[in-house]
Structure formats: structure tokens, C-alpha cells
Structure 1
Amino acid sequence: MRYDVSVIGLYILDVLGRPVTRIPDRGNVEFIEEIKLTVAGTAGGVVINTAKLGLNSLAVGAVGNDEKADFVIGAMERHGIDASAMQRLDGVPTSATILNIRPNGDRPALHQRGASDHFDLPGRLYDQVFDAPIVHLGGTGLLRTLDGEKSVTLLKEAKRRGCTVTFDLIAATAETAGIVLPLLPHIDYFMPSIEEARDMSGQTTVEDCASFYLDHGAKTCAFTLGGDGAYYADHTGTRLKVPSYVIDVVDTTGCGDAFDAGFITALHHKMNPEDSMRFAQAVAAQVAGGLGSDACVTSFDDTLAWMKNHKTR
């Protein structure tokens, strides 16, 4: 196949600054230590990290025809990502977020919706997009045109062509369940945060959340639990929880996307479920140790070495 993974969905430019303790009054100035631009989003943050981890990655999404798009496309190409399936749309801005990173790593965000709202995947691109053993759809909930029946069609086609489908979403609410549940029978690895899983299912415990989504058709659930680690449950009955790593948190932006990228990379390397979860946790922990959604991730081998040198909780 032409690629190791195709990453479809939400592509955003993040503008991050840290540490932000308050917004200045009137037109005053506060000085901070660091400002950074990154490619982000539930697809953009994933594809950057899969490329850093050594996978031949295809980016599939939409940006505007503006200076923000120039940065997003250029950054991906510098990481060796094939951006030929990215759409540049006239008349709409590239989706972007301003993140004010607090000293504890929290990240209140100001988001401008843009090209991702208008992203659709035409059938003429199917042969390219599905020329990969793993297809990731990320950003359901903020993909206004693609969300719903068009995503069902997309994932059905991915499965018809024999692809393994991984999936994550964003901005989940109880209402988001209406567009997510029909997708589950076509998803091999369902990877939301536990907060998102609870909000959509109405369940409380991680075990009940997993049972809810497995009963609705997902083959496997891999939930991120923040500082409590991550939880894996599949339709064969396998259940396991892995701990988080002990780190000094700088910024939690993109940790879920980094987890997705780590898990996809583990699938590529045919790791078993426990090792896959631990590797995914390590990629997320590396990202939490710096500013932005790909901070501190350098390579597959370096991540394996990082795991040996860091303790879990």
C-alpha cells in the first residue's frame, strides 16, 4: 500500500502561549515565556505525531486559502507527510485556536471555526485515501459537512476495502451521540476521553461506558483517563487498565491526539493490547511535557527509550 495511515478530519492551526495567569486589563501587556504555532486538531495532531513516529502518513482534510493554511501545509510537508489530499478552500479561513496555557497545564481555548466545517471527502479521492491499512477519522462533532450520514458512508467504504478504522471525536455532548452511535459498527478502535465517553453514553464507570459502546457495535474501546491512565476493552472480553507516567505537566493540549497517534503506531508494529496502550500513553506523556500537540515527540525508537527511563504511577 502507498501509506501506513490515512488521517481524515479536523485540521487546525494552534497558537499557544504559556504560562498565562491572567488576561491584562485594558490594553496592557503581560510577558510570558513561550509562544508557539502548531498543526493541531483531532486529525492534524495525530498525523504530525504518526509521521514523527515513522509512519508514512497521508493528511486528508481542509484548510482555507490563507496564511494559516500556508503554515499548516508547510509544517506537514516538512515532516514528510503527504498533503496532496488536503483541500484549500477559497472564502473561508483555516480553522484556528488560541490557547492560553495555565501554569498547571490547563488550556482554555478560543476557537475560530473555518474550513473544517466545509470539509467533505469526494469519491474521486477514495482510491488514494484508502490506500492504507489504517484509516483514522478524527474530529467528529466539529466536521459540520462530513458529520452524519456522510461519515457512515466513508467508514463503510473503509471497511469494505479492508482497512482498520480508528476513531476519535471532539466537543462531545449528549447530542453528539446521535452522530457517533451510527458509526460504531464500522469502527475497530473507538478512542475518546472518558469524559467524552460519559457525556455521550450517560454512564458513569469506565467499565459501563465501555460496555455501552461495545454493545452499540464498536470492536474495541481505548479510553484515555487523564492522570488515571488509560482503559482498554474489546468485544472478545479483554479488559485492562494501564497507568499514566510520572511527569511534570507543562501543557495538556493534544494529549488525546498523541495517544491516538501512539496507538496507531503500535497497531502498525503489531504490538499486543497492553503494549499498545503503554506506548500510546508514553506518546501522550511526552506531549504533556512540552508546549503544543507534538511537543517532545521525536521518533519511535526514542519513545521506546523514553518508556524505559520513566516510571508509571
Structure 2
Amino acid sequence: MRYDVSVIGLYILDILGRPVTRIPERGNVEFIDEIRLTVAGTAGGVVVNTAKLGLKSLAVGAVGDDEKADFVLGAMERLGIDTSAMQRLAGIPTSATILNIRPNGERPALHQRGASDHFDLPESLYDQVFDAPIVHLGGTGLLRRLDGERSVTLLKEAKRRGCTVTFDLIAASAETAGLVLPLLPFIDYFMPSIEEARDMSGCSTVEDCAAFYLDHGAKTCVFTLGGDGAYFADAGGTRLKVPAYAIDVVDTTGCGDAFDAGFITALHHRMNPEDAVRFAQGVAAQVASGLGSDAGVVSYDDTVSKVAAGGRRRPRPVDFRAGPAETGRI
């Protein structure tokens, strides 16, 4: 196959600054320590990190015909990402977000919807896009044209061609469930945050959330739990809760996307479920220790060594400690 992973969906330019304690009044100026531009979004943040982790990655989405698109495409190409399936749409801005990162890592956002609203995947690209063993769809909820029946068709085709499908979404609400539930029978790894899982299902506990999505057809649920770690549940009865690593959080932007990239990379390397979750958490911890959705991620080998060092209680500020997973079958 040409690629290790195809990453379809939401591509955004993030403009981040930290630390932001207040917006100055009138036309005054406040000075901050750091400003970055990064490729982000529930697809963009994933593909950048899969590339950094050594996977041959195909970016599949849309940008506008503006200076923001120049940056997004150029940044991906410098990482060796194939951007030939990216659409550049005339007269439409590239989707972008301004993030004011607070000292505690919170990130109030100002978002401009743009090209991702107009993205669709024509059948003429199927042979290229599905020429990978893993296909990730990220961004349901903010893919106005692709959301709904077009996504069902897309994932059906991915499964027909034998691909493993991973999935994440954004801006979830009770209404988003109508877009997501029809996709679940074609999803091998459903990877929302627990907040998103609760909002769509109406369930409160992580166990009930997993049961809800498994009952609706998902093969495996992998929920990120923030500071409480991550939870893995599959249709075969395996249940894992892996605690979070202890780190000093700088910025939580893109941590979920980094987790997805780490888990996809773990699938590529055929890790067992506990090791896969632990590796994915290691990638997310690296990102949370810096500014932007790819901060701290250097390479696969570097991440493996940091995760391994966690067992030896590496000291802070980047302490990749995690306790034993709680494992069971029901």
C-alpha cells in the first residue's frame, strides 16, 4: 500500500499565544511569552503527529486559497506528508482558530469556519485515499458538506476495501448523535473524549457510555478522560482503565488529536490494547507539555523511550509516570 494511514476531515490553522491572562483594554498592548502557528483540527492535528511518529501519511481535506493555506500545506509537506489529496478551494478562507492559552492550560477559542465546511470526497479519489490499512475520519460535527449520509458512504467503502477505521469528532452535542450513530457499525475504534461521549449518549458513567456505543455497532471504544487517563472497551469484553501521566500542563490544545495519532501509530506497530493506550497517552502528554497540537513530539523512538522511562519514575516537569492499568473482562 502507498500509505500507512489516510487522515480525512477537519484541517485548521491554529494561531496560539501564551500565557494570556487578560485582553488589553482599548488599543493597549500586553506582552506574552510565545506565539505559534500550527496545523490543527481533528484531522490536521492527527496527520502531523502520525508523520512525526514515522507513518507514511496522506492528508485528505480542504483549505482555502489564501496565505493560511500556504502555511498549512507547506508545514505538512515539510514533514513528508502527502498533500496531493488536499483540495484548495477558490474564494473560501482556510478554517482557522485564534487560541488564547491561559496560565492553567485552558484555551478559549475564536474560530472562523471556512473550507472544511465545503469539503467532500469524490469517488475519483477513493483508490488513493483507501490505499492504506488505516483510515481515520476526524471532525464530524464541523464538516458541513461531508457530515451525514456522505460520511456513511465513505466509511462503508473503507470497510468494503478492508481498511481499519478510526474515528473522532468535534463540537459534540446531543444533536451530533444523529450524525455519529449511523457511522458506528463501520467504525473499529471510536475515540471521543468522555465529555463528548456523555453529551451524545446521555449516559453518565464511562462504563455506560461504552455500552451505549458498543450496542450501536462500534467495535471498540477508546475514551480520553483528561486527568483521569483513558478507558478502553471492546465488543469482546476487554475493559481497561489506564491512569494519566503526571506532567506540568502548558496547553491542552490538540491533546485528543495527539492521542488519536498515538493510538493509530500503536495499531500500525501491532501493540496490545494496554500498550496502545499507554503509548497514545504518552504522545498526548508530550503535546500537553508545550504550545500547540504537535508540541513535544519528536519521533516514534523518542516517544517509546519516554514512555519506557515512565516505569522508572522519570522526574517532573515531563514525568511520564502511569500506574498499572485496571484490566478485566466481562
Interval containing the TM-score (normalised by the shorter chain): over 0.9
Aligned residues: 313
- CA distance in structure 1 between the partners assigned to 2:181 and 2:104 by the alignment: 34
What is the Cα-based RMSD across aligned positions, in Å? 0.5
- CA distance in structure 1 between the partners assigned to 2:263 and 2:194 by the alignment: 16
- CA distance in structure 1 between the partners assigned to 2:30 and 2:307 by the alignment: 37
**Aligned twin of 1:8:** 8
Q: 1:85-104 alignment to 2 at 5 Å?
A: 85-104=85-104
Aligned partner of residue 136 in structure 1, secondary structure: strand
- CA distance in structure 1 between the partners assigned to 2:307 and 2:268 by the alignment: 18
Aligned partner of residue 209 in structure 1, secondary structure: helix
**Aligned twin of 1:132:** 132
Aligned partner of residue 27 in structure 2, secondary structure: coil
**Aligned twin of 1:157:** 157
Q: 1:21-170 alignment to 2 at 5 Å?
A: 21-170=21-170
After the TM superposition, which parts of structure 1 deviate over 2 Å for at least 4 consecutive aligned residues? none
- CA distance in structure 2 between the partners assigned to 1:271 and 1:166 by the alignment: 15
Deviation at 1:312, TM superposition (A): 2.0
- CA distance in structure 2 between the partners assigned to 1:250 and 1:74 by the alignment: 26
**Aligned twin of 1:282:** 282
Deviation at 1:308, TM superposition (A): 2.4
**Aligned twin of 2:218:** 218
Give the counterpart letter for 2:153 in structure 1.
T
- CA distance in structure 2 between the partners assigned to 1:219 and 1:68 by the alignment: 37
Structure 1 residue 312 and structure 2 residue 312: aligned?
A: no
Deviation at 1:311, TM superposition (A): 1.4
**Aligned twin of 2:205:** 205
Deviations 1:120-144 (A, max 9, x none): 0000000000000000000000000
Deviations 1:49-73 (A, max 9, x none): 0000000000000000100000000
**Aligned twin of 1:267:** 267
What is the TM-score when the length of structure 1 is the normalising length?
1.00
Deviation at 1:210, TM superposition (A): 0.2
**Aligned twin of 1:255:** 255
**Aligned twin of 1:172:** 172
Deviation at 1:165, TM superposition (A): 0.1
Aligned partner of residue 59 in structure 1, secondary structure: strand
Deviations 1:175-226 (A, max 9, x none): 0000000000000000000000000000000000000000000000000000
| Gap regions ≥5 residues in structure 2 | 310-319, 324-330
% identical aligned pairs:
85
What is the TM-score when the length of structure 2 is the normalising length?
0.94
Give the counterpart letter for 2:74 in structure 1.
G
- CA distance in structure 1 between the partners assigned to 2:80 and 2:256 by the alignment: 22
Aligned partner of residue 97 in structure 1, secondary structure: strand
- CA distance in structure 2 between the partners assigned to 1:106 and 1:231 by the alignment: 23
